[in-house]
Chains A and B, each alone.
Chain A
Amino acid sequence: MTQAEWQSTTTPTTEGAIPGQRKWQDYFTFNTDHKVIGIQYLVTSFIFYMIGGALATAIRTELATPESDLVSPELYNNLLTVHGTVMIFLWIIPAGSGLANYLIPLMVGARDMAFPKMNALAFWMVPPAGLALIGSFFLEAPQAGWTSYPPLSLMTGKVGEGIWIFTLLVLGTSSILGAINFFVTILRMRVPSMGINDMPLFCWSMLAASALILIGTPVLAGALILLAFDLLAGTAFFNPTGGGDPIVYQHMFWFYSHPAVYIMILPLFGAISDILPVHARKPIFGYRAIAYSSLAISFLGLIVWAHHMFTSGTPAWLRMFFMITTMVIAVPTGIKVFGWLATIWGGKIQLNSAMLFAMGFISMFVIGGISGVMVAAVPFDIHVHDTYFIVAHLHYVLFGGSVFGIYSAIYHWFPKMTGRMMNEPLGIVHFVLTFIGMNLTFMPMHELGLLGMNRRIALYDPKFATLNLVCTIGTYILAVSTLPFLANAGWSWISGKKAGNNPWRALTFEWMTTSPPAIENFEQLPVLTSGPYDYGLSKRNPQMEPEESRSNVEAPPGFIPPEEARAGSPEP
């Protein structure tokens, strides 16, 4: 029986229904509570983030000088391969899953996910896969890059490559199981009073991201299984010495791995859309535009993959097709960015850590988005493909975007997850260090790439030494920047200021239960009395005492703010 059926047929009578708090031991077991799983995901992925960050620091230390002097060239390739794989598959994607696990049932007013056991299973696939990948350093680490293009990946060592394929297959399966859960929970388990256009925007973006996972990941699995056959059984699907075609692997790989970028960024688009209105005390600007643009990004994200292959075996018409589709993605993304800017414009912005990271997210992501349109242009991409310009671009999207988004979400929802506030001064120190370190590390890489520095190299032309040194110093600042965060999170979790149910005076369902929520989330399932972003309406009570029953329609009846009245009526 699914959670949905259970919820609609019976009243909870089992021991699970007794409201209460989790013991710390629960977080180390096969627990089916979505909140436990959410925190398990977040903590596990953060540990892998620390490991991936350590690898990045080693890479940048090697690159502090033009000579290849710190690590051997083989080890350097191991480092960059594992760094990329860890950051994508063991940090950003699982961290997004963690947020989704924790928040979706609370946001839609459900008592758990649709398939709680599958949910726990999905989580428990992550640690063994991650340990296998990290452990590969003790046997033989993969060294063909996170893209693992054949024929190189077929020649660099069977053990390391085999472990890499195993890791990705397990993590991909975990990702698919998680996506099914998010999809069903969002579509089937909302409280009856919540229409699809009353959902918090995080749910919309998770819907879009889950669709991408479900469509893309099986293709990656196919590519990896064929690659494993080539590697272990001597077939020649991708091996040109047997008549295979390495370009086919690239198509199959990027058919998943470009959407993977949106799998990594969409959850944070959603989180930011939920965080900005709370701390700006203003409704989200253009709810439907932001909600539906997630779906547009999701669809377009499926038809842009070959822009990673403009200099590869891609015929001219295909280069042009993928150039146009890639550029078109800028339109729905632009809708979101301008919507966010209009949301904070004219608000009453509380510049706390969550808001600083959210605004930093917009600021950094826009740079990555702009350089993204640039590299979509084929003639220019021919120059910068596989250079540090691309490294800069992808880190502005994935670090400036996803990681800033994850930090913002942690600062925002930490009071709900733990019942305690985080320390603000430490949070601001964390933000300032991260912001400076991020720009110092990645901004000079744009210039390096344009000037002619290719990526994935351990030794480089001495004329690039100065800029590389700047990047390395930035990396050290980034490494240090995590310390105030770790101290803050650890200390606040144990003895931070009590948060109360709704410290931010927010309107979404997760703030209408205790902090941390009881085991079944809500003593009584909440009823939707206002839209998720109805800030600024007169005499609204954030504690949600049933005031005179307002309809679920989001638009305030008849209220047109004087400034906007001439431009048009408020959008629902």
Chain B
Amino acid sequence: MKIPSNILTLLAGVILTLVSLWYGQNHGLLPEAASDEAALVDGLFNSMMTVSIGLFILVQGVLIISAIRFRRRAGDNTDGPPIHGNIPLEIVWTAIPAVIVLVIGVYSFDIYKAMGGFDPQAATDPGITQIAMLPGESVPGLIDSSSQPKPRHAHNHVALGVGAFPEDEGRPADVNVDVMGLQYAWIFTYPDSGVTSGELHIPVNKEVQLNIKAQDVLHAFWLPEFRLKQDAIPGRDTELRFVPRHIGTYPVICAELCGAYHGAMNTKLYVQSQEEYDGWLQEQIASLNDPNQAIAMRAIAPSESRSNAEFLAPFASQMGIDTAALEQLHPQHISMNR
């Protein structure tokens, strides 16, 4: 039985659409979505994936069908039909991608707005401030800020990044954490209590603002499960503001090449219930006066005479860096920090 070609085309189109729609929702390529922002980004990705799979199948299908149906038969030395073009067809395949990218563009704009990308506190470049000392010489301010609690962060200065949800603009976040990136660790300081930690603890369902700075070179603060990333730039303030929705432990990753041990610059994010979080915070505040802990705190400031391995050792266990990675931190490495 011979089926008319336009019916076949229609059938192929329907199948292609259904496969695209199905795969766009069921690709299973993304990790857990642990924040509202993540859910927004995943929605965008799924729609782009749907369109992409459709285009992918269309192009690969045309290539495979051509290779089979239009292959040259043995002994046939003639040419194909002299078709030089087809203006309406060309207009169609110019217009369709144009409409697709326009729709994706507007959708992305919308998502970015909903994520807080246009929060006036986070949308403009604050410019640079000169950092005072040579990179790697010491960690200024960290010890000071830990010994005397700073006033609550007022969210009144501009720092580039992803800001508050549009409805929360101008309102200070529930929890502020100062994040300092340095070779090769993240140091988290809680300005309300003066607590300093190598891991990030935040309470679930509270709006968290991370004020990100870099001490020496570029780093990038990445939370894969939250679909958020922002470079930490020496001399520039950046921020990320989000609401964690699921209790759990998540990786914190440095995503910008920052030196030889860039791959080891990871730590953990603990999203905890309010009670657990408060308990952890109290424990940390108590240990600030504990002499053993004070030794560990001094270790944050490396001196020229100390190797990175020694400097990082107190953090190693709590940050989950394996000992093999630490052993690779040999003393010559400090010469990079001149």
A residues within 8 Å of B by Cβ? 67-68, 72-74, 76-77, 143-145, 149, 151-152, 155-157, 240-247, 280-289, 311-317, 319-320, 323-324, 327-328, 330-331, 334-335, 337-339, 341-342, 344-351, 359, 362-363, 366-367, 370-371, 373-374, 377-380, 382-383, 385-387, 446-447, 450-452, 454-461, 505, 533-537, 540, 554-556, 559, 561, 563-564, 567-572
Contacts and interface: CB of A to CB of B under 8 A. Distances in A.
Nearest to A367: B56
A235 to B, nearest CB: 14
Contact of A344 (B49, B55, B70, B160): B70
B72 A350 contact: yes
Interface residues of B, number: 103
23 contacts: A68-B324, A68-B328, A73-B263, A151-B216, A285-B85, A289-B85, A289-B94, A319-B117, A349-B66, A362-B59, A373-B48, A374-B52, A379-B108, A380-B44, A382-B228, A383-B228, A457-B262, A534-B82, A535-B79, A536-B79, A537-B79, A561-B81, A567-B86
Contacts of A330: 97, 100-101
B234 interface: yes
A362 B108 CA distance: 27
A286 B85 contact: yes
A421 to B, nearest CB: 17
B321 to A, nearest CB: 10
Given A151-B135, A334-B93, A386-B222, 12 more contacts: A77-B260, A281-B72, A284-B84, A287-B84, A314-B160, A347-B70, A377-B48, A382-B41, A383-B229, A533-B84, A536-B80, A572-B85
Nearest to A80: B257
Contacts of A370: 52, 55-56
B255 interface: yes
Given A283-B82, A330-B101, A313 B236 contact: yes
B48 A347 contact: no
Contacts of B337: 155
B255 A349 contact: no
A102 to B, nearest CB: 26
A91 B224 CA distance: 34
B84 A289 contact: no
Nearest to A73: B260
Nearest to A347: B80
Given A77-B257, A313-B236, A341-B62, A349 B93 contact: no
Interface of B: 29-31, 40-41, 44-45, 48-49, 52, 55-56, 59-60, 62-63, 66-67, 70-73, 76-90, 93-94, 97-98, 100-101, 104-105, 107-109, 111-112, 115, 117-118, 122-125, 128, 130-136, 160, 162, 216-218, 220, 222, 224-225, 227-231, 233-236, 238, 251, 253-264, 324-325, 328, 336-338
